Structure 1
């Protein structure tokens, strides 16, 4: 039998099928970006009031130990009230959902968004990604079904997820990688690019909207790695694998800390208790270990030699513990952004211990290892680690370093729980 007979040509989707998806994808991209930007802007303004204006008016240091403990506890009380009283209790237990989930009922969204904004402003160590993606998926799924009932309902979920990822990262590349990974092993009609066409359009539109409105950047401005050597290869392998092991320690602890807070049985006990613990951790680790972590990572990167190895070690452990507590006690938020801080601090710890470790190598490898353990999303981990240092020479090192790190995490429990409290694998 000839090769031509064995390999049938791949079916492609006609352009007339793809073109009607362009306008819905554009609208979804803009809408998802604007919701993300709106919640972020509201949270930033509230954060300035809570951490600058209010302590200044009271004559208290904004980042004094006392104020951190008070503010984190109050944030737990406020979010606890929302979770207790809001319709639908601000969504399901965040420990049981991943980066993307099935569409939530729309009546849950006001409580979810309010709880998210309060969390972002108040200082717990979580990011906006999970609740914002969940809110956008729910809104797009609901509104899309009403506005365009002819469009298959299953299309709205990847459109919203891709658009929000594009908005969060300021580039459609992360969304394209995640959607490609999600499509792996599925039977798809036409080519892969046919399936990516609409989500990539939504992601690019979401990214461009965020870029035009907010001008975000993930580049930390670390010194560029001119040409990797053998030492850089060894460093990346060791740092990524060690960071993955560190992240797995939090993953294995997750069901136990979640169960401990669950014994309190009420959000007005669980969240204030979690807030108090987070305040104590903030007082121990300093103000850089608060909040989602991106601005704080940028502050570390501006002066990678400005802290001692002991200080970097303390920030690494405290931030990882804060991420674990915030995710366990019921705060609504994602884990990618605080994990970036953990990995960055760990990489700079390696640089402080061994000055020959290039800061870009340390940070990118540390972020890669932590994200592989926390998210179990290979493409997201590689992309985030690479984009932080904006050094093309690092990409090859990261691809190699990801291999042993992935061996350490794959098949093991994930930082996501089933309804019975056991870890998803």
Structure 2
């Protein structure tokens, strides 16, 4: 009834569905625990002792304590809480399962404590390791690379609430051939991504879109404006690219993760006092609060963007377990709103979407993911042609430039 190629794809469907659902459940459980812990640390606990959660004392103290606790986990847990996200790509080969409890605990404490990183890198690492460990026993004929692809696709679908991002990302890595078309290779990863996104949607809906005025029609001047905005965002991101490896090397000369992360947490607390509570945490909820605010002006948006960018660099350089995509989206949104406030003739839809495109491109160096993030934050079909055009000069600016990553150091 089915062609042998179709039967092969059907055989991979079951493990893909299982991996997609499991990847989403790991994400949902982690985010729920972190959310409950965050409410306790930043609402119930300060209220019970009569301290404002946004007071300088509480912000500095909480982030310093968070750094010390995460440092203790990294130093004493088996596997040292997994790889340092500052020196590892988002998708990499499986780590030892023994490192996963420490990594999960470090992630939850960092998210709840207000560290300016997202969950994507640790969740990706956890899901890939679990998929490889259990999958190789249940389906021994499937290779570790295939488990890595399925778990990463399921995680991407779960993180963004849609399989579209996974389709875009893997379409450039899983190329087809004369014997096996690209969509044959994409079938199982898309199945995992779809399962992950649907499972996530049963519990909550990731809310990325901002209340930005509708963009009516593309004009030539808008293309030029968008390219300039993207270039400004790239310039800001390249400052972080220059700072991260140098700061990472400087901090890790101390050798002791408790000391490194304690210092990092203290600096994050100082930055949190300067930027306020909006610059804390992973940035998605705070981005919504920023966009809906009626009191923020150009200077406020600039402060939020600069402080969040500095916090991202400090958190990554210190070795906190977290990802850099979600904070980059916040920075891009703040930068875009600031540029629109300065030059109101340029629509906010252009400034925000193009700034996000530029920042995410610096952080990920992935054109499809950058286009996707810009399009979901400002969901306007009239913008898609403009974003595709703006991507071209943005990609030229970054061609051959270093990545936002630290260098490995000899122990």
Q: Same fold (TM over 0.5)?
A: yes
* Aligned twin of 2:243: 253
Confirm or deny that 1:362 pairs with 2:351: yes
Of 365, 389, 392 in structure 2, the residue corresponding to residue 400 of structure 1 is 389
Structure 1, gaps ≥5 residues long: 1-11
- State the distance in 2 between where 1:334 and 1:13 align: 40
Output aligned runs, 1:22-421, within 5 Å: 22-184=13-175, 190-303=180-293, 306-420=295-409
Q: Alpha-carbon deviation of 1:377?
A: 1.2
Give the secondary-structure state (helix, strand or coil) at the position aligned to 2:86.
Answer: helix
The separation in 1 between residues aligned to 2:206 and 2:159, in whole angstroms, is 9
How far apart in 2 are the matches of 1:206 and 1:322? 30
**Cα drift, residue 310 of structure 1:** 1.1
**Cα distance in 1 between the residues matched to 2:84 and 2:327:** 19
8 Å CA contact 1:271, 1:330 repeated in 2: yes
The alignment partner of 2:402 has SS state of coil
Asked whether the equivalents of residues 13 and 194 of structure 1 are also in contact (C-alpha less than 8 Å), the reply is no
Question: What is the TM-score of this pair, normalised by structure 2?
Answer: 0.96
Q: Is the 8 A contact 1:245 1:408 kept in 2?
A: no
Distance in 2, Cα, partners of 1:94 & 1:373: 16
**Cα contact 1:232–1:357 (8 A) shared by 2:** yes
Q: CA deviation at 1:214?
A: 1.1
**Which 4+ stretches in 1 moved above 4 angstroms?**
186-189
Question: Higher mean Cα deviation, 94-103 or 161-170?
Answer: 94-103
Q: Supply the distance in 2 between the matched residues of 1:129 and 1:188 (Cα, whole angstroms).
A: 35
Paired residue secondary structure (1:182): coil
Cα deviation for residue 187 of structure 1 reads: 6.1
Give the CA RMSD over aligned residues. 1.5
Equivalents in 2 of 1:191, 1:136: separation in Å? 27
Q: C-alpha deviations, 1:136-170, integer Å up to 9, x for none? A: 00000110001111223321110000000000000
Q: Is the 8 A contact 2:174 2:186 kept in 1?
A: no
How far apart are 1:13 and its partner, in Å?
A: 6.2
Which 10-residue stretch deviates more, 398-407 or 51-60? 398-407
Aligned equivalents of 1:382 and 1:408: distance in 2? 16
On the 8 A contact 1:163/1:205 being kept in 2, the answer is yes
Please give the per-residue CA displacement for 1:6-42, whole angstroms capped at 9, x wherever unaligned: xxxxxx9621111111111111110000000000000
Cα gap change, 1:402/1:79 in structure 2, threshold over 3 Å: closer, same or farther? same
How big is each residue's C-alpha offset from its partner over 1:305-339, in whole Å with a ceiling of 9 and x where there is no partner?
63121111111111000000000001000000000
Shift of 1:408: 1.3
Is the contact made by 1:241 and 1:401 (CA closer than 8 Å) also made in structure 2? no
CA shift, 1:178, in A, is: 1.0
Is the contact made by 2:159 and 2:206 (CA closer than 8 Å) also made in structure 1?
no
SS of 1:313 mapped into structure 2: helix
Equivalenced residue count is 408
TM-score normalised by the chain length of structure 1: 0.93
Query: For the structure 1 residues 164 and 47, does the alpha-carbon distance in structure 2 shift closer, same or farther, using more than 3 Å as the test?
Result: same
Q: Which residue of 2 aligns with 1:6?
A: none
